[in-house]
Structures are given as C-alpha cells and as structure tokens.
C-alpha cells in the first residue's frame, strides 16, 4: 500500500511541476492536505469545494455553524468521497459516456433545455469537462453505495407482513390519483334541467378527448357558470368526500358520469394513477429455441441455422426435440425450450414484442432479439392476479428505503474508521 502511495504522490509532484529531487521552476505549488489510503486530497480540491460552501453561506438567512467546524466537515466529506471512489474502482464500477449523457439529459430537461443546449451552455461557461467529471464520480459513488449498503440491509418476511397490516403500511401502499373536476354550480338553488343537459353535453365532449381543465377555466359555457380545477395528486383520504366513492372506480384517463351534490353537477376525470398494490399481469406460456453467435459461429451462420430449424419444424419435426438438441438456452434445454409463463419486464422487450404478436398455438418466424436468434411458440395466455406479490415487493422496497439512510451513515463511519487517513495542517 505504501509503495502505491509513493507512486501516487510522485504523480502529484509531476502535476505541480516538481522534479524527483525537488527542484523546479518557480511556480505556485499545490499542497497535500490529507492522505486517504492510496490517494491524496489536494488543497486545490478543498479550496474549490470551500468556495462553493462560502457561496451558500453568503445566501444563508439563518444561523451558520462556526467556520472551523464547517471546514472540518467539508474535508471529511471529500475524504469519504475519495474512499468510496477507491473502493468502487477496485470493485470495477465504471460509468460510460452513454450513462453520463443520460444523467446530463435529465438535468437539462429539469431546466427546460435539450441536451445540446445544456452542453453548449456549460461549454460557454468553461464548465463542460468539470461537470461531466463531477457527474461521473457522483454516479460511481451512488452505484457503489447502493450495492454496498443494500447488502447490509435485511428485511424479514415477518417485517413485511407486520408492515402490510399496519396503518402506516396500508396508507403508504394505497394508490394515488391525479384528479381534475368540473362543477356546474347551482348557487344554493335547486339543480335545473338546463344544468343537467349541459353536464351531459360536457361529459360527451370529454369522452371525445376535450380538456377538462380548459372547460373549467372557461368560467361560462352556454350562458351558464362553470368552475373546477386540477386537484393534483391525492390519496383517497385526502380527496373531497364527494369524490371518494367515484375516483377508485375510474382507470387512468376515464371520465365519470355527471353526478350531483348540494353544490350542483360534478364531472371527475382521473388523469393519471400511480402506486397501489392491485396488479393483474398479462402472461404468455411460451417455448423457444435460441441460437447465439459465438467464437465458432458467425452472425450469418446463426441466422442460417435458425431458419433451417424453423423449416424442419414446419416440415413436421417436434419443436421440443429440436430445442433439446440445438438451443443455446441452458435454462430451458431440458424442458424442450419451455420458458413457462412469461410477462413484460421478465424478458427483453424485443423478445416480448414478438410473443405478444404471436397468436395462441402458433409459432413465430425466426427473429433477431437482444440475446440472439429465436423461434417462439405461444402455447397459452392468461391474466394473473399478482396483487399479493406486488404488495410484498412494495413493502420490502419501502422498508429498505427507510433503513437505507441509517445504514449508509453507519457504513460510511465504518469505512472511515478502518481506513488509513492522515490529515495535514493547512
């Protein structure tokens, strides 16, 4: 470890213009402020981070901790980042240009910019390279943290069951609805036939695709007052009570029939839904033959072989026998290519697209997918209720999220305590 550190320190010396004997042309020298296992923290890195903190301090409206404490916290943060980057590097965590571009695209979209516009803006400010490098390190640390910390978290079946029975669990897993509504008010008077006719007319227009929010903003339609609003995202218990029975019966995009309350005629539309544990999954029972290009078989040879096998099945040979003798799928070779019941997210999208397009009892033509060349036969289809499995999955996910921050803090303290760290005066 010490020899590796010397090599690292020698490279730092080269970067700051020093010769192995310590002689150099007169120039500003960087300074090592901390040795972190096989790495070093330079004063220039600390100064850059501290400048950012000072900018935040200048904007702060409340009390600010003592600067000496803040400087220590900033250095500790940099030290822990260096430790994680070293561990991630040893574990082989890498981030390619595509991942970086996707991350930058997300930031650009959050600021109503395209990736090209955002990149141009960074280049004009001289921040393009440093932003990409900062983002690369952030993604690497995030990926390594997720793996390292999640391995330390255990969620028992009993914890999941207890959570699902608790009021907190029931509330957390309940679905959310993005709801908009329109009201034809009666202003304290009895509802009239004209109001009912207008409600039915608006309902018919909404079914055709009219915007419910634009209707509500019109304030007056056919000489009658209208109102309403986009209520945003709500769970059932936070919606107005008059909507609580109607909304759960509607799927995303669906519009309710006009209904009355003491206030007048209402129409409700569920714009979107999210969460919830009810899950019915379309599944297909399939078997397949997979031929993969490899060191001894080219892409063209693989395509020729799959087409030959396809023709043999058309000529009457048994699909299962040919699969057992030829498929490159180790998981289904014994069963004659049978994959059992498959569904979206279980297999690659390009494979599932062919499965969905193939009628029951029929076989697809040979096709190229992510994993290689395939022939697929669809044996049956069903809609499977996977609500229980989905509840278990969501409960485990939420419990894991709750434990993650505490476990992350413990893990970071452990790696710091068990690493070689030498902080210099600066």
Tokens of 298: 């080219």
pLDDT above 90 for 402: yes
Give the CB-side neighbour count of residue 227, counting CA atoms within 13 A: 5
Beta-carbon contacts of residue 401 (< 8 Å; ≥ 6 apart): none
Distance in angstroms (rounded) separating the CA atoms of residues 231 and 273: 13
Average pLDDT score over residue span 369-379: 95
Residue range 31-149 in CATH 1.10.10.10: no
Q: Are 399 and 67 in contact (CB under 8 A)?
A: no
CATH dotted code for 280-385: 3.10.50.40
CB neighbours of residue 290 within 10 Å:
24
Q: What is the mean pLDDT of residues 268-276?
A: 91
Q: Are 144 and 240 in contact (CB under 8 A)?
A: no
The CA radius of gyration of the chain, in Å to the nearest whole number, is: 31
Cα separation of 149 and 417, whole Å? 16
- Over residues 198-207, mean pLDDT: 94
Q: Is the pLDDT of residue 6 over 60?
A: no
pLDDT-based confidence at residue 28 (cuts at 50, 70, 90): low
Residue 39 has φ and ψ, to the nearest 5°, of -130, 170
Q: What kind of fold does domain 175-274 have according to CATH?
A: Chitinase A; domain 3 (3.10.50)
> Average of pLDDT values for 100-125?
92
Distance of CA 356 to the CA centre of its chain: 25
Query: Above 80 in pLDDT, residue 24?
Result: no
What is the pLDDT at residue 307?
Answer: 97
pLDDT at 280: 85
How is residue 156 written in tokens? 């028992």
**Taking the domains of the chain in order of start, what are their residue ranges?**
31-149, 153-172+387-426, 175-274, 280-385
pLDDT in tens, 295-345: 899 999 999 999 999 999 999 999 999 999 999 999 999 999 999 999 988
pLDDT tens profile 134-144: 999 999 999 99
CB atoms closer than 10 angstroms to residue 204: 11
Please tell me the predicted confidence (pLDDT) of residue 189: 81
Domains 175-274 and 280-385 share a fold: yes
| Average pLDDT of the segment spanning 94-116 | 91
Tens digits of per-residue pLDDT, 164-193?
Answer: 999 999 888 989 999 999 999 987 787 788
Structure tokens at 212: 């419910």
Percent of the chain with pLDDT strictly greater than 70:
93
């Amino acid at each position: 470890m010490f020899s590796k550190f010397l090599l690292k320190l020698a490279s730092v010396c080269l970067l700051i213009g020093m010769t192995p004997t310590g002689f150099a042309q007169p120039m500003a020298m960087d300074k090592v402020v901390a040795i972190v296992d096989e790495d070093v923290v330079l004063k220039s890195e600390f100064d850059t981070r501290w400048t950012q903190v000072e900018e935040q301090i200048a904007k702060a409206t409340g009390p600010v901790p003592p600067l000496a404490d803040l400087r220590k916290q900033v250095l500790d943060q940099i030290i822990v980042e260096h430790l994680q980057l070293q561990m991630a590097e040893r574990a082989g965590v890498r981030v390619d240009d595509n991942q970086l571009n996707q991350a930058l695209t997300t930031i650009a979209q959050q600021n109503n910019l395209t990736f090209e516009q955002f990149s141009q803006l960074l280049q004009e400010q001289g921040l393009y390279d440093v932003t990409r490098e900062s983002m690369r390190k952030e993604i690497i640390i995030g990926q390594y943290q997720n793996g390292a910390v999640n391995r330390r978290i255990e969620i028992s079946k009993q914890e999941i069951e207890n959570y699902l029975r608790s009021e907190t669990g029931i509330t957390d897993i309940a679905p959310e609805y993005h709801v908009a509504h329109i009201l034809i008010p009666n202003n304290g008077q009895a509802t009239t036939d004209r109001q009912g006719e207008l409600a039915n007319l608006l309902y018919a227009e909404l079914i055709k695709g009219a915007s419910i929010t634009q209707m509500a903003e019109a304030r007056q339609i056919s000489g009658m007052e209208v109102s309403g609003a986009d209520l945003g995202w709500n769970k059932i218990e936070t919606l107005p009570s008059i909507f609580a029975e109607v909304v759960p019966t509607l799927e995303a995009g669906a519009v309710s029939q006009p209904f009355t309350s003491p206030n007048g005629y209402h129409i409700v539309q569920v714009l979107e839904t999210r969460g919830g544990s009810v899950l019915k999954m379309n599944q297909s029972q399939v078997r397949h033959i997979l031929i993969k290009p490899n060191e001894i078989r080219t892409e063209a040879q693989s395509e020729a072989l799959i087409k030959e096998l396809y023709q043999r099945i058309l000529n009457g040979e048994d699909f299962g026998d040919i699969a057992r003798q030829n498929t490159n799928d180790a998981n289904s070779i014994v069963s004659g290519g049978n994959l059992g019941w498959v569904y979206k997210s279980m297999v690659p999208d390009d494979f599932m697209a062919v499965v969905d397009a193939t009628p029951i009892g029929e076989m697809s033509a040979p096709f190229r997918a992510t994993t290689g060349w395939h022939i697929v036969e669809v044996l049956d289809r069903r809609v499977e209720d996977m609500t229980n499995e989905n509840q278990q999955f969501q409960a485990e996910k939420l419990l894991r999220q709750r434990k993650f921050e505490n476990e992350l803090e413990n893990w970071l303290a452990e790696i710091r305590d068990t690493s070689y760290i030498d902080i210099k005066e600066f």
